[in-house]
């Protein structure tokens, strides 16, 4: 019988996150446990952020990112802010260095409650995204996806530690039925590791609005790494400045693509409730309600 795992149900602008504290343990949350948690209305999640003991000197933790379908990702902006909120509430620490399977992420709890994450440098070369074949990206090539929809068919692509395709549109993103095309595009043969699919409308050089169909999840209310991807691609294609407010269904993020090529994402994280879970069965219980952390 494995000891139960402390976890917190949180969200980053409505991106539903379970933060599981696996530190001091050698086990993981088994796939069947993740399926049970994903199918319970109380614990359904877009991602599980599993905090493990550091694997590299100088880092605070190794963080595994698990999507609803059990697939693992290399980046999760909203989830990383939730991990900062969780750890900072435990011991007051405000500066963190996390390792994920895509690299290192510096993060900081700011005065006033917002959290900023250095999401690293964007990767534009086709092998890093990855794409199944070479695509000339000298001008951030827009790749043609002949779709039934007249609303969008040409995407720019980038990796933020995870693969993103962003379709820039002139229409209100809430008027486009992304759910009708998301799965087909997520699984497009050009994306050997699948891809996160976003539609984005640049409304001013310093503002864009977007929605995302997430790889391994589907439509979500926010996707932090997609907000970074859309901002970088908007700047790279001359649509926007390098510091921009990104509006997603769950709220606003501030994204800055710094001159040192690092992409800084700043936004909130919200604690909802805490409990413990069984890593084998996915059975869980909730702690007595307490004031928000
Ligand atoms: N579904 C994404 C991982 C989570 C990204 C998103 N929740 C974020 O805030 O960045 C992927 O498979 O690449």
**Per-residue model confidence as pLDDT tens digits over 90-135:** 999 999 999 999 999 999 999 999 999 999 999 998 899 999 988 7
Q: Is 180 annotated as a binding residue?
A: no
DSSP codes joined into one string, 98-115: EEETTEEEEEEEPTTS-E
User: Would you call 82 a catalytic residue per the annotation?
Assistant: no
76 is catalytic: yes
Name the burial class of residue 42, with classes exposed (0-12), middle (13-18) and buried (19+) by CB atoms within 10 angstroms of its CB: exposed
Say which CATH superfamily domain 5-120+269-292 falls into.
Diaminopimelate Epimerase; Chain A, domain 1 (3.10.310.10)
Classify 236 as helix, strand or coil: helix
198 lines ligand 1 (CB under 6 A): no
**How many whole angstroms separate alpha carbon 216 and alpha carbon 291?**
32
DSSP state of 250: T
Query: Distance between CA 115 and CA 222 in Å, rounded?
Result: 15
Residue 85 banded pLDDT, cuts 50, 70, 90: very high
Task: Return the residue matching tokens 């908007």.
Answer: 234
At 127-159, the pLDDT tens digits run 999 999 887 654 456 677 766 566 787 889 999
Same-fold call for 5-120+269-292 versus 141-261: yes
φ, ψ (nearest 5 deg) of residue 131:
-110, 160
15 has binding-site annotation: yes
What pLDDT, on the 0 to 100 scale, is given for residue 152?
80
Would you put residue 161 in left (φ > 0), alpha (ψ -120 to 50) or beta? left
> Ligand 1 centroid vs 225 CA: distance in angstroms?
6
> What is the arithmetic mean of pLDDT over 218-231?
98
Task: Give the ligand 1 atom nearest the CA of 228.
Answer: 10
Domain boundaries, the chain: 5-120+269-292, 141-261
Quickly name the fold that domain 141-261 has: Diaminopimelate Epimerase; Chain A, domain 1 (3.10.310)
Give distance in angstroms: CA of 240 to centre of ligand 1.
23
């Amino acid at each position: 019988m494995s000891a139960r795992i402390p976890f917190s149900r949180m969200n980053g602008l409505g991106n539903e996150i379970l933060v599981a504290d696996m530190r001091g343990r050698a086990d993981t949350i088994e796939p069947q446990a993740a399926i049970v948690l994903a199918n319970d209305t109380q614990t359904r999640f877009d991602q599980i952020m599993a905090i493990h003991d550091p694997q590299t000197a100088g880092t605070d933790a190794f963080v595994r990112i698990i999507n609803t379908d059990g697939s693992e990702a290399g980046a999760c902006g909203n989830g990383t802010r939730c991990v900062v909120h969780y750890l900072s509430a435990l011991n007051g620490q405000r500066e963190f260095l996390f390792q994920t399977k895509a690299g290192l992420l510096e993060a900081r709890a700011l005065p006033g409650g917002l959290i900023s994450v250095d999401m690293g440098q964007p990767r534009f070369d086709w092998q890093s995204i990855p794409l199944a074949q070479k695509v000339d990206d000298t001008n951030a090539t827009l790749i043609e996806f002949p779709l039934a929809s007249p609303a969008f068919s040409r995407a720019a692509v980038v990796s933020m530690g995870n693969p993103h395709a962003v379709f820039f549109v002139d229409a209100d993103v809430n008027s486009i039925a992304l759910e009708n095309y998301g799965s087909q595009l997520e699984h497009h043969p050009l994306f050997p590791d699948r891809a996160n699919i976003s539609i984005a409308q640049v409304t001013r050089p310093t503002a864009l609005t977007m929605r995302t169909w997430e790889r391994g999840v589907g439509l979500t209310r926010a996707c932090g790494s997609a907000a970074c991807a859309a901002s970088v691609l908007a700047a790279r294609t001359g649509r926007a400045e390098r510091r921009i407010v990104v509006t997603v269904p769950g709220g606003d993020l501030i994204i800055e693509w710094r001159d040192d090529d690092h992409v800084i994402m700043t936004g909130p994280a919200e604690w909802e409730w805490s409990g413990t879970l069984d890593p084998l069965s996915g059975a869980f219980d909730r702690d007595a309600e307490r004031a928000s952390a």
